[in-house]
Structure 1
Amino acid sequence: MDKIVIEGGFPLNGEIAISGAKNSAIKLMAVCLLTDQPIKLTNMPRLRDTRSMAGLLEHLGVQVDAGEGDEMLLNAETLSSTTAPYDLVRKMRASFNVLGPLIARNGSAKVSLPGGCAIGARPVDLHLKAMESFGVKIKLEEGYVIAAANGGLKGAEITFPFISVGATEHALLTAVLAKGETVLNNAAREPEIIDLANCLNAMGAKIFGAGRSQITITGVSKLSGVNHAVVPDRIEAGTYALAAATAGGSVRLTNIRSDHLGSLWPLIAQAGAKVSLDETTVLIERGGGRLKAVDMETQAYPGFPTDLQAQFMAMMCLADGTSIIRENIFENRFMHCPELSRMGADIDVRGREAIVRGVKELKGAPVMATDLRASASLIAAGLAASGETHVGRVYHLDRGFERIEVKLGNCGARIRREKE
């Protein structure tokens, strides 16, 4: 097992190119199940999660050519199986989203209940209720969802009781081949939803309103192949922006959609770093002097992303004053707090709120990554801390960040990967 070793206390200076979005790429890979024609995805990140999804698709009979660079070719001309086994689905929650496309393609499917990061219950109830709205019969047996739509999928009006990115994406993937019209109410509005809809529309789907709270889908009988570029990863961009503000220095982020992080840039500026941006680049600069405490709460898009909460907290650990960070999305997403405290942070967790009293210095320590985004917060803290930090269990990190030690190393970070 690998670990990341960081010698902290050195500012970051340089340029970082942002990869394609993990949270979009995985769902875009599932699109191949909806057509017998080839799919070409570009700006694809090379991650543990995309490899896991590729392994699942190959099990189903999809020809996957990841090749070199940022391209991936997917061809599901024929499928050899409609069963997604536990050993493959447990590695990543998003792989559960093959259920709807398999039903749309073959009329039935058997998919294991998912795994993934332990940051909350994140039940699949909304997914299954959406499937039932399309006329799918669902049975749960021995940890598997056994689903069939013998009469074919039928359009439906679905109102989500709360906003769910995964359920919205899953319903989109299913509705495009359903007969008639589907209306999704209280739909998620994330850029990754728009990216998925854009790809499906380019294949011949009829999706209207993606990026709004109501989405309308008119089902079609067939989808064609497509060449599609994955949207830049706003969470990776925000992570590096926060790392630069935390450690200090001057970092330019390229291949970015700056408008996708409208809730982040004002908070970084309030904390004392300079933010200069245009449509595709962002420059983060911070010289001497302490950061300033800023309160923050996570919200569904376009609010502050829950996937940047831990990284924001790492920055606030060194701020002058007290900040209150409220987590409104997941009920168990403060597991990084004890690890940051090992480095000298002063954090008091009270339910869904964390009270962070900034300290003048963090000190390097051995810490353990508890989930994907927590991993990144420990990296950022280690960059700013004095001494050496060892971040263990970085397989979490590899799920969502492409060559993080290389990208940071190119900006002057003293960071390396070692075997534990």
Structure 2
Amino acid sequence: MDRIRIRGGNRLNGEIQISGAKNAALPLMIASLLTDDTLTLRNVPRLADVTLLMRILGNHGVDISVDGKRLGTSGIQGDTMHLTARTIVDTTAPYETVSRMRASFWVLGPLLARCGEARVSLPGGCAIGTRPVDMHIQAFENLGANVEIDQGYVVAKAPKGLRGNKISFSKVSVGATHAALMSAVLARGETVIENAAREPEISDVAECLVKMGAHIEGIGSSTLHVQGRERLHSATHEVLPDRIEAGTYAMAVAMAGGDVHLLGARTDLVGSVIDVLDRAGVSTSPTNQGLRISRNGAGLKPVEVTTEPYPGFPTDMQAQLMALMTRAEGTSTITETIFENRFMHVQELARLGADIRLNGDSAAVYGVKRLRGAEVMATDLRASVSLVIAGLAAEGETTVHRVYHLDRGFERLEKKLGACGADIERLAS
């Protein structure tokens, strides 16, 4: 199993190209199931989750090809992917695939909408909480599907097709919004989705669906109006830049010090992160090409932050911020409201010398004068990168184990940081 070794103390200077958003690329790939024409996606990141989803979609009958690199193009530019679901050969997604990647559960909506039936394994729990699918099932039932749970599988049937209806979610859910949206575009009549998630990745998928012939109003708001179509057609769409990756590298620069230009970062997508960094005393400057982050000698100020659905501070940035605040001059408070069990990185940060005390869904982070390198273990995707951020400022050597978590969501992280001066390398098992 690969691991990453970091020798802390180096400042970061240079440029980092922000990749396409994983949380948009995965549902965009799944949207290919909605048409028998070809969907072309540009700026697809090279991630383990993308590779796994290619295999999963292939099992359903999706033919996938990826363009080769042209001479002279950068190795960190995203891929161009062509997905053609001419014929759906299997409407079942088995446990062995869904258990490996939760997002694969989202195939249920497109399969149900296009084929009138789907049988998809329940995803079960995960390292950061149970994340139930009851609201997904509610959406399918509201659209006229008969849904049963049979031996760990969600079995949904709508032999006469789905019918538009009102779907009102009791709380904001990105996954349930994806499920409702990708089902409603092929349902007869109008569907109104209330209390929909407003994350930019939802909007990116909706905009792609519109290019495919869907009629969707209210994109970017909490109420979506969808007029169903009999079929969708081919389209070409570029995956938006990854706001979580941009925020993560911004935290890395804030921790290590230096001056880095995040090329392709969209400031409109990371407003809450910029606000927190500004309060912490980090310099942030929008540019024509992205976002510049710098910290040159000044100490970090403590902050008080609560994770919230977009446009609030994202839960996927909580671990990175916690790592940064271990070096603040004072006490920070970070409250997690989205997922339970998302403080597992606390014990690993403590191995580096962090002083963090938990009280329910809140963490008090007492800034320390120094961190010291140690052997640490990643527990999930975002937790793993928080350990890398801490290692950039730790004295001596830090080794992060189980970096397969990192490969699920960060493209060539060690190369991007290394190009800016970090002493970081991947060690093969």
TM-score in same-fold range (> 0.5): yes
Check whether the contact 1:307–1:373 (CA below 8 A) recurs between aligned residues: yes
Partner Cα distance (2:124, 2:15) in 1 = 35
2:272 counterpart SS class? coil
Check whether the contact 2:4–2:401 (CA below 8 A) recurs between aligned residues: yes
The one of 251, 266, 269 aligned to 2:260: 251
- Once the 2 structures are TM-superposed, how far is the Cα of residue 113 of structure 1 from its aligned partner? 1.3
Do the aligned partners of residues 91 and 68 (structure 1) sit closer, same or farther apart at CA in structure 2, a change above 3 Å counting?
farther
- Which residue number corresponds to residue 33 of structure 1? 33
The one of 293, 296, 299 aligned to 2:305: 296
AA aligned opposite 2:364? I
- Once the 2 structures are TM-superposed, how far is the Cα of residue 141 of structure 1 from its aligned partner? 1.5
The runs of 5 or more residues in structure 2 that have no matched partner are 70-78
Do the aligned partners of residues 393 and 115 (structure 1) sit closer, same or farther apart at CA in structure 2, a change above 3 Å counting?
farther
Tell me which stretches of 4 or more aligned residues in structure 1 moved more than 4 Å: none
- Once the 2 structures are TM-superposed, how far is the Cα of residue 278 of structure 1 from its aligned partner? 3.4
- Which residue number corresponds to residue 237 of structure 2? 228
AA aligned opposite 1:81? D
Aligned length: 420
Q: How does 1:312-327 map to 2 (within 5 A)?
A: 312-327=321-336
- Which residue number corresponds to residue 66 of structure 2? 66
AA aligned opposite 2:66? A
- Which residue number corresponds to residue 44 of structure 2? 44
Check whether the contact 2:125–2:131 (CA below 8 A) recurs between aligned residues: no
Partner Cα distance (1:370, 1:392) in 2 = 9
Q: How does 1:207-286 map to 2 (within 5 A)?
A: 207-278=216-287, 280-286=289-295
Partner Cα distance (2:288, 2:127) in 1 = 35
Structure 1 position 384 matched with structure 2 position 393: yes
Partner Cα distance (2:52, 2:124) in 1 = 12
| RMSD (CA atoms) | 1.1
The one of 87, 101, 105 aligned to 2:110: 101
AA aligned opposite 2:402? R
AA aligned opposite 1:38? T
Partner Cα distance (1:279, 1:198) in 2 = 24
1:110 counterpart SS class? strand
- Once the 2 structures are TM-superposed, how far is the Cα of residue 117 of structure 1 from its aligned partner? 4.3
Identity percentage over the alignment? 57
Q: How does 1:384-403 map to 2 (within 5 A)?
A: 384-403=393-412
Do the aligned partners of residues 374 and 109 (structure 1) sit closer, same or farther apart at CA in structure 2, a change above 3 Å counting?
same
Partner Cα distance (2:65, 2:19) in 1 = 19
2:341 counterpart SS class? coil
Check whether the contact 1:177–1:222 (CA below 8 A) recurs between aligned residues: yes
- Once the 2 structures are TM-superposed, how far is the Cα of residue 116 of structure 1 from its aligned partner? 7.5
- Once the 2 structures are TM-superposed, how far is the Cα of residue 115 of structure 1 from its aligned partner? 5.3
- Once the 2 structures are TM-superposed, how far is the Cα of residue 280 of structure 1 from its aligned partner? 4.2
Partner Cα distance (2:287, 2:306) in 1 = 25
Check whether the contact 1:187–1:212 (CA below 8 A) recurs between aligned residues: yes
Spell out, residue by residue over 1:371-406, the C-alpha distance to the aligned partner (whole angstroms, 9 max, x if none).
100011001000111111010111111110000011
Structure 1 position 156 matched with structure 2 position 165: yes
Partner Cα distance (1:307, 1:394) in 2 = 17
- Which residue number corresponds to residue 74 of structure 2? none
Partner Cα distance (2:125, 2:148) in 1 = 22
Check whether the contact 1:6–1:383 (CA below 8 A) recurs between aligned residues: yes
1:319 counterpart SS class? coil
- Once the 2 structures are TM-superposed, how far is the Cα of residue 412 of structure 1 from its aligned partner? 0.6
Partner Cα distance (2:18, 2:289) in 1 = 10
Do the aligned partners of residues 413 and 17 (structure 1) sit closer, same or farther apart at CA in structure 2, a change above 3 Å counting?
same
Structure 1 position 169 matched with structure 2 position 167: no
AA aligned opposite 1:373? R
Partner Cα distance (2:289, 2:421) in 1 = 23
1:284 counterpart SS class? strand
Partner Cα distance (1:311, 1:116) in 2 = 23
Partner Cα distance (1:116, 1:162) in 2 = 19
The one of 298, 306, 314 aligned to 1:305: 314
Partner Cα distance (1:160, 1:240) in 2 = 34
- Once the 2 structures are TM-superposed, how far is the Cα of residue 279 of structure 1 from its aligned partner? 5.8
AA aligned opposite 1:285? S
Partner Cα distance (1:14, 1:268) in 2 = 19
Structure 1 position 335 matched with structure 2 position 344: yes
Check whether the contact 1:91–1:116 (CA below 8 A) recurs between aligned residues: no
Structure 1 position 194 matched with structure 2 position 194: no
Q: TM-score, normalised by structure 2?
A: 0.96
Structure 1 position 7 matched with structure 2 position 14: no
2:247 counterpart SS class? helix
- Once the 2 structures are TM-superposed, how far is the Cα of residue 57 of structure 1 from its aligned partner? 0.3
Check whether the contact 1:82–1:110 (CA below 8 A) recurs between aligned residues: yes
The runs of 5 or more residues in structure 1 that have no matched partner are none
- Which residue number corresponds to residue 84 of structure 2? 75
2:181 counterpart SS class? helix
Partner Cα distance (2:48, 2:158) in 1 = 33
1:40 counterpart SS class? strand
2:118 counterpart SS class? strand
Check whether the contact 1:60–1:82 (CA below 8 A) recurs between aligned residues: yes
AA aligned opposite 2:323? A
The one of 350, 354, 357 aligned to 1:345: 354
Do the aligned partners of residues 56 and 262 (structure 1) sit closer, same or farther apart at CA in structure 2, a change above 3 Å counting?
same
Check whether the contact 2:15–2:263 (CA below 8 A) recurs between aligned residues: yes
Structure 1 position 119 matched with structure 2 position 100: no
The one of 373, 381, 392 aligned to 1:364: 373
AA aligned opposite 1:387? G
Moved more, 273-282 or 180-189: 273-282
Check whether the contact 2:12–2:420 (CA below 8 A) recurs between aligned residues: yes
Partner Cα distance (2:287, 2:190) in 1 = 39
- Once the 2 structures are TM-superposed, how far is the Cα of residue 331 of structure 1 from its aligned partner? 1.4
AA aligned opposite 1:252? H
Q: TM-score, normalised by structure 1?
A: 0.98
Check whether the contact 1:203–1:223 (CA below 8 A) recurs between aligned residues: yes
- Once the 2 structures are TM-superposed, how far is the Cα of residue 66 of structure 1 from its aligned partner? 2.8
Partner Cα distance (1:200, 1:265) in 2 = 30
Partner Cα distance (1:355, 1:186) in 2 = 32
Partner Cα distance (1:251, 1:225) in 2 = 38
